Each structure stands twice: as structure tokens, then as C-alpha cells.
């Protein structure tokens, strides 16, 4: 991987982690188009996902601090309830991740056709939000679990986690700003949990005889460039996405998903 490719993939990760167009799908498409070959894709994935997780924490740092402070007050207040709603939303994705880990990992192997189909599905979800009436509802425990189920489906490459969870929240009648906030905060624990598992897996693999060679084949500068570009683009995309949801502009990303999904499917069929 060259520095330019690291920059491109870092930007793709940062932007698409928050914009409703599927980061996993675009990373797979980006690697396929650039023909990027990584000796250790797990390490690069840890770095860029860590960068976008950090950008989320930076954007919502005040809210996160207030939630933690409220939780340690040991009172059943709004902050504590909000934390428990986030915890409830994590259950479906946790169950799916544990039971179907190997099957899911097989889908992240350059399956451009499948990614294209899932992008079309994401486009449909986003377009449905144009039919949702203006609502002012709050996040309830029931809604939190339903949105959590949607997040579990969004594990599949090509389905946008932010797009699908925000779309589901809006269709459930949740206020736009609250829908965006809950969507970004609810995905943070699973992202950090996945990162931890990847780090543990990487450390386990690093005990092998070829580990030193594999790690050395990804220069530190490549990892640093990928981290910085993913972090900066993630900061921009996260704040931009909040404004997009408030202004009800998700349909434009639906059209984008339709176009990219169709291109991905056509690319696969022509290549075949």
C-alpha cells in the first residue's frame, strides 16, 4: 500500500463511517478498485476504525461526559436511562457478532456484487425517510431495542450503520436531532468492542513466526497517514451528518446508494 492509497482509504473510512452510505461497503469497493494488497489488513482496519471512534468521542465529548457523570450518580435519572437504552440497543448486534462471526467475515472478502445489492437496500431505507411525517418523539426502551435490531442487520457490508439506524429512528417517530445523536452514540460501544477484539486477535496472531514480517510490511507512516486522514474526515462527516438529518436531506444519499450499488453490480457482471 502506498501513502496515496492510505490517504484515499482513510478518507473513505472517515467519511463513510458517518455518512449514510456504508463504510464497510465503500472500503471493500475502494480496495477492489485500487487493487490494494495488505499483508495485514487487520492492523490497518484497527487503525482507521480507531480514528473514527476517536472522532465520535471528540464530537460528542460533552454529552458522553454528562452521561458518564449521570451514570455514576447511581440515580435513575435521564442520563442513566439513556445509557441503559444504549446498552439495550447493543444486545442484538452482540448476539449476531458472537453467533455468526465467521459467516460475516466471509462477506468482507471483496464480494463486490453482494455489496452492491446491500447498497441498493440502504438506498431504499434512506428513501423511505422521505415518507416519514415530522415527529417529535423521544428514544424509548422499545425504540432503542428496535433500532438495535436494525444495527445488527447493518453488520453486513453495504448496509450503512448510521443510515439504517437513523432511518429506523425517524420512521419510529423520533425527533431528528435525537435520532442522529442516539445513532452515533449507540454505535460507539460496539465499535470500541470490535476494536478491542481485533487488537486481541492481532496480538494473538503476532505470536506467529511470520508476524514480524507481516507488521513490518506496513510501514508506520502508512498507518499514521491512514489514522490522520480517517480522523479528520470523520470529524467533518460526523458534524455534517447531524446537519443533514436536521434538514431532512437523506434522500440525496439514497440516490447515491442506488447509483453506486448499480455500478458495483454492473462492474461485477462485466468483470465476470
Whether 86 contacts 78, CB under 8 Å? no
Give the single-character DSSP code of 22: -
**By percentage, how much of the chain surpasses pLDDT 70?**
88
- Residue ranges of alpha helices (H) inside the chain are 3-18, 23-34, 41-59, 61-71, 78-99, 101-107, 112-128, 141-153, 161-171, 176-205, 211-216, 220-246, 250-271
In which band, very low, low, confident or very high, does the pLDDT at 209 lie, cut at 50, 70 and 90? very low
Q: Please give the Cα distance from 221 to 74 (Å, whole number).
A: 45
Task: Tell which wins on pLDDT, 87 or 30.
Answer: 87
**Nearest residue to 36 via CA among 56, 9, 10, 15:** 9
**By percentage, how much of the chain surpasses pLDDT 90?**
22
What pTM does this model have? 0.80
**Nearest residue to 145 via CA among 90, 94, 188:** 90
Domain ranges of the chain: 3-271
Report the range out of 108-117, 211-220, 235-244 with the highest average pLDDT. Answer: 235-244
Report residue 25 as a C-alpha cell.
Answer: 461497503
Chain centroid offset of residue 33 CA: 21
Query: What is residue 38's predicted lDDT score, i.e. its pLDDT?
Result: 63
pLDDT in tens, 54-106: 998 999 999 999 999 888 888 888 999 999 999 999 999 888 877 877 777 66
Q: Please give the Cα distance from 135 to 189 (Å, whole number).
A: 27
Is the torsion defined by CA of 137, 139, 141, 143 positive or negative?
Answer: positive
In which band, very low, low, confident or very high, does the pLDDT at 23 lie, cut at 50, 70 and 90? confident
Amino acid at each position: 500500500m502506498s501513502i496515496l492509497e492510505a490517504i484515499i482509504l482513510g478518507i473513505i473510512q472517515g467519511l463513510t463511517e458517518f455518512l449514510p452510505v456504508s463504510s464497510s461497503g465503500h472500503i471493500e469497493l475502494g480496495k477492489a478498485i485500487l487493487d490494494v494488497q495488505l499483508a495485514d489488513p487487520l492492523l490497518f482496519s484497527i487503525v482507521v476504525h480507531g480514528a473514527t471512534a476517536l472522532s465520535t468521542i471528540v464530537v460528542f465529548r460533552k454529552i458522553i461526559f454528562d452521561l458518564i457523570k449521570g451514570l455514576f450518580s447511581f440515580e435513575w435519572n435521564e442520563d442513566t436511562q439513556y445509557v441503559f437504552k444504549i446498552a439495550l440497543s447493543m444486545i442484538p448486534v452482540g448476539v449476531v457478532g458472537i453467533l455468526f462471526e465467521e459467516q460475516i467475515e466471509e462477506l468482507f472478502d471483496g464480494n463486490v456484487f453482494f455489496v452492491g445489492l446491500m447498497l441498493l437496500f440502504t438506498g431504499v431505507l434512506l428513501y423511505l425517510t422521505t415518507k416519514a411525517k415530522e415527529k417529535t418523539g423521544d428514544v424509548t426502551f422499545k425504540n432503542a431495542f428496535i433500532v438495535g435490531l436494525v444495527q445488527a442487520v447493518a453488520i453486513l457490508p453495504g448496509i450503512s450503520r448510521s443510515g439504517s439506524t437513523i432511518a429506523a429512528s425517524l420512521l419510529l417517530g423520533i425527533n431528528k436531532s435525537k435520532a442522529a445523536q442516539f445513532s452515533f452514540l449507540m454505535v460507539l460501544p460496539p465499535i470500541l468492542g470490535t476494536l478491542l477484539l481485533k487488537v486481541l486477535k492481532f496480538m494473538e496472531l503476532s505470536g506467529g513466526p511470520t508476524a514480524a514480517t507481516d507488521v513490518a510490511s506496513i510501514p508506520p507512516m502508512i498507518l499514521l497517514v491512514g489514522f490522520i486522514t480517517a480522523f479528520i474526515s470523520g470529524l467533518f462527516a460526523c458534524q455534517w451528518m447531524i446537519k443533514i438529518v436536521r434538514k431532512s436531506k437523506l434522500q440525496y444519499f439514497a440516490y447515491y446508494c442506488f447509483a453506486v450499488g448499480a455500478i458495483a453490480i454492473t462492474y461485477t457482471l462485466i468483470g465476470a
